[in-house]
């Protein structure tokens, strides 16, 4: 008996807010496949109800993707067509799905894109900053010391930078930008894109921080932060903060190592001291 023709995995972009942004092709795909793998089935069911589709749903999120991947691959190999969606926007962009797509490609299974909404490109199109060259940085580290160290490394990046951020960390993140990159760097904060209360706050970092501090509504909803690149980047630092601290800590006490790192790379001694403690903890945990 010959093997059945394999099914296709469709990577389907869904609206980031306004349900009217779903493309005709995406709606047709979601209605024709045998199964939809969704980040949150309850969230996706709202979209399906909106377009009158009752396709079966199965959850696929960051906590179960590796375990569920094989069962979905098996169904594809049996000839079923499956759609992959995230809660909003294009799957895999700071969302689950990479394991499933990579494994499907490794098994020579067809993978097709059904393009549409993306918070990244939507934000870029209305931020007013140069977008001919840009870099997507996703979410910065949650811990302040690591976040500041990452921003310090990005301070000489000449391309426009795009970040996703939690509204509860937005002010802290912007103040870290102020500290590590400077208050005069232009930034654009885009909140609730395509939704009823969509707003854009832009200007120099100092001004944007003051505006957000005076408006509690600015700390609600989904947030994209776009930071202008360095207009006059000097030579890139050849060593990262992590690398420098590891070397300095071999010869100096922690406080002195942190002070030396601040002198070499700029920034605050306390941040490097905190990062040094984090590195020491991670090294101890992996030994």
Mind listing the pLDDT tens digit for each residue in 118-142? 999 999 999 999 999 999 999 999 9
Return the CATH fold of 9-117. Cobalt-precorrin-4 Transmethylase; domain 1 (3.40.1010)
pLDDT of residue 238: 47
pLDDT of residue 236: 47
Pick one of 3.40.50.720, 3.30.200.20, 3.30.950.10, 2.30.33.40 as the CATH number of 120-227: 3.30.950.10
pLDDT band at 113 (very low <50, low <70, confident <90, very high): very high
Instruction: Evaluate if residue 270 carries a pLDDT over 70.
Output: yes
Q: What mean pLDDT do residues 106-113 have?
A: 98
Instruction: Evaluate if residue 285 carries a pLDDT over 70.
Output: no
* 236-258-285 Cα angle (round to 5): 95
Domain 9-117 identical in fold to domain 120-227: no
14, 44, 86, 100 from 39: Cα distances, Å = 12, 8, 5, 13
pTM: 0.78
CA distance 203 to 110: 45
Taken in order 89, 94, 98, 99, is the CA torsion positive or negative? negative
Better-predicted residue by pLDDT, 269 or 62: 62
Better-predicted residue by pLDDT, 271 or 30: 30
pLDDT band at 77 (very low <50, low <70, confident <90, very high): very high
Instruction: Evaluate if residue 30 carries a pLDDT over 90.
Output: yes
With 0-12 CB in 10 A as exposed, 13-18 as middle and 19+ as buried, what is 95? middle
What are the residue boundaries of the structural domains of the chain, listed by start? 9-117, 120-227, 241-286
Mind listing the pLDDT tens digit for each residue in 209-267? 999 999 877 778 889 999 999 987 655 444 667 778 888 988 999 999 988 888 777 66
pLDDT of residue 282: 64
- Within a 10 A sphere around the Cβ of 282, how many other Cβ atoms? 11
pLDDT of residue 284: 54
Mind listing the pLDDT tens digit for each residue in 173-221? 999 999 889 888 999 999 999 998 899 999 999 999 999 999 877 778 8
């Amino acid at each position: 008996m010959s093997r059945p023709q394999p099914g296709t995995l469709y990577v389907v972009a869904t609206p980031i807010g306004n349900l009217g942004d779903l493309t005709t092709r995406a709606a047709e795909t979601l209605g024709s496949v045998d199964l939809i793998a969704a980040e949150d089935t309850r969230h996706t069911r709202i979209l399906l109800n909106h377009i009158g589709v009752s396709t079966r749903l199965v959850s696929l999120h960051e906590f179960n993707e590796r375990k569920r991947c094989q069962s979905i691959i098996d169904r594809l190999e049996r000839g079923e067509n499956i759609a992959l969606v995230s809660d909003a926007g294009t799957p895999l962009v700071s969302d689950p799905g990479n394991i499933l797509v990579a494994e499907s490609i490794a098994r020579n299974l067809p993978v097709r894109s059904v393009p549409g909404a993306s918070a990244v490109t939507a934000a870029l199109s209305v931020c007013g900053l140069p977008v001919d060259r840009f870099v997507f940085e996703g979410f910065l580290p949650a811990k302040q010391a690591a976040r500041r160290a990452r921003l310090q490394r990005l301070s000489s990046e000449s391309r426009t930078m795009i970040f996703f951020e939690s509204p509860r960390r937005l002010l802290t993140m912007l103040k870290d930008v102020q500290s590590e990159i400077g208050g005069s760097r232009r930034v654009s904060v885009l909140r609730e894109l395509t939704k009823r209360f969509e707003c854009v706050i832009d200007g120099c970092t100092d001004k944007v921080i003051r505006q957000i501090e005076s408006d509690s509504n600015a700390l609600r909803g989904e947030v994209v932060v776009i930071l202008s690149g360095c207009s006059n980047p000097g030579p890139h630092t050849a060593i990262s903060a992590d690398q420098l601290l590891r070397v300095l800590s071999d010869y100096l006490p922690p406080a002195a190592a942190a002070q030396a790192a601040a002198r070499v790379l700029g920034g605050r001694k306390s941040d490097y001291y905190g990062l040094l403690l984090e590195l020491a903890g991670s090294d101890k945990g992996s030994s």
